[in-house]
C-alpha cells in the first residue's frame, strides 16, 4: 500500500513537471490610434507654417516693371507748309492738236514709213451742207519709187457700229512739191453706205510703175460724216 502511494505521488510529480501544452491564443488587434488634441494642434500648426513660408518668403524676387514712357504730344503743321501746297503749280494741260496754216496735221506714225506731211482741211463734212461739204486731203510719199497715190475710204455707222467695205475714191493729184492731194465731197460717198451719223475712215496707198509699194495706217474715227450741217 505504501509502495503504491509512492508510485502515485511520483506520477503526479512527473505530470506537474511536464510543460503544459501551448494553445494558440488569438492575437489581439492593435488598439486603434486615437486622435489626441495634441496631434491635431501639431498638424494645424505645420500647415499654417507651410502656408506662411510659401506666401511670405518668395523663392524668386519679383522683377520691377518699367514705367511707361510718355510720348511727346504731336506738333501742329506750320502754317507755311499749307501755303506751300496751295502755291504749287497746276498740272500741265493736254496740248491742242497741231495745225499748220489752218490745216489739221496727222501724226507721221500713221504714214507707216511710206508717207509724211499728211493733212486735211477739217474734221467733219456733210452730204447736203454747203459750208462743210468738202474736205481736202494731202500727203507726201517718203519713198521716191511712189509715183501714184490712191485714196481709199470706208464708213462706220456710229449708231449701230456697222462697218462697211473699203471704197477706192481714185487717184490723188500730183503737186509740184512732190505731194498728192484730193478734194473729197460729201456726195462722193457711195449711196449704199451713207449714214446720217458716221465715221469717215481713210487710207493712202502708194504705187510705183510696176505696182503697189506701200500703204499708210488706217486713219480711223477722226473725221465725222453727216447728212446735214454738223
Query: Cα–Cα distance between 137 and 132 in angstroms, integer?
Result: 14
Query: What average pLDDT does the chain have?
Result: 75
Q: How many Cα neighbours within 13 Å face the side chain of 29?
A: 3
pLDDT above 50: residue 65? no
CATH 3.40.640.10 applies to domain 99-226: no
Non-local (6+) Cβ contacts of 105 within 8 A are: 97, 98, 99, 117, 118, 119
In the DSSP assignment, the letter for residue 214 is E
Consecutive H or E run containing 11: helix 2-17
pLDDT above 70: residue 6? no
Q: What is the pLDDT of residues 115-138, one digit of tens each?
A: 999 999 999 999 999 888 999 999
Dump strand ranges (E) for the chain: 99-100, 103-105, 115-120, 124-126, 134-141, 148-157, 167-171, 173-174, 180-185, 197-207, 212-215, 224-226
Q: Tell me the C-alpha to C-alpha distance, in Å, between residue 96 and each of 99, 105, 121.
A: 9, 12, 16
Q: What is the pLDDT of residue 102?
A: 82
Query: Cα–Cα distance between 230 and 217 in angstroms, integer?
Result: 27
Query: Cα–Cα distance between 213 and 207 in angstroms, integer?
Result: 5
| The 3-state secondary structure of 113-161, one letter per residue | CCEEEEEECCCEEECCCCCCCEEEEEEEECCCCCCEEEEEEEEEECCCC
Domain ranges of the chain: 99-226
pLDDT above 70: residue 30? no
Query: Cα–Cα distance between 72 and 168 in angstroms, integer?
Result: 80
User: For the residues 149-175, what does the mean pLDDT come to?
Assistant: 97
Amino acid at each position: 500500500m505504501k509502495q503504491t502511494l509512492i508510485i502515485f505521488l511520483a506520477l503526479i510529480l512527473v505530470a506537474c513537471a511536464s510543460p503544459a501544452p501551448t494553445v494558440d491564443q488569438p492575437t489581439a488587434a492593435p488598439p486603434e490610434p486615437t486622435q489626441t488634441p495634441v496631434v491635431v494642434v501639431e498638424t494645424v500648426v505645420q500647415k499654417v507654417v507651410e502656408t506662411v513660408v510659401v506666401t511670405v518668403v518668395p523663392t524668386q524676387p519679383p522683377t520691377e516693371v518699367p514705367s511707361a514712357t510718355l510720348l511727346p504730344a504731336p506738333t501742329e503743321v506750320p502754317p507755311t507748309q499749307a501755303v506751300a501746297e496751295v502755291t504749287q503749280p497746276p498740272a500741265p494741260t493736254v496740248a491742242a492738236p497741231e495745225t499748220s496754216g489752218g490745216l489739221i496735221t496727222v501724226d507721221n506714225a500713221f504714214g507707216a514709213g511710206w508717207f509724211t506731211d499728211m493733212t486735211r482741211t477739217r474734221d467733219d463734212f456733210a452730204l447736203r451742207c454747203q459750208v462743210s461739204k468738202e474736205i481736202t486731203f494731202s500727203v507726201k510719199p517718203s519713198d521716191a519709187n511712189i509715183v501714184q497715190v490712191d485714196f481709199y475710204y470706208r464708213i462706220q455707222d456710229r449708231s449701230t457700229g456697222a462697218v462697211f467695205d473699203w471704197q477706192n475714191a481714185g487717184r490723188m493729184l500730183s503737186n509740184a512739191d512732190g505731194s498728192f492731194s484730193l478734194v473729197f465731197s460729201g456726195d462722193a460717198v457711195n449711196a449704199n453706205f451713207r449714214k446720217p451719223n458716221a465715221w469717215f475712215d481713210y487710207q493712202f496707198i502708194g504705187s510705183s510703175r510696176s505696182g503697189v509699194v506701200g500703204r499708210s495706217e488706217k486713219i480711223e474715227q477722226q473725221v465725222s460724216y453727216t447728212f446735214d450741217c454738223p
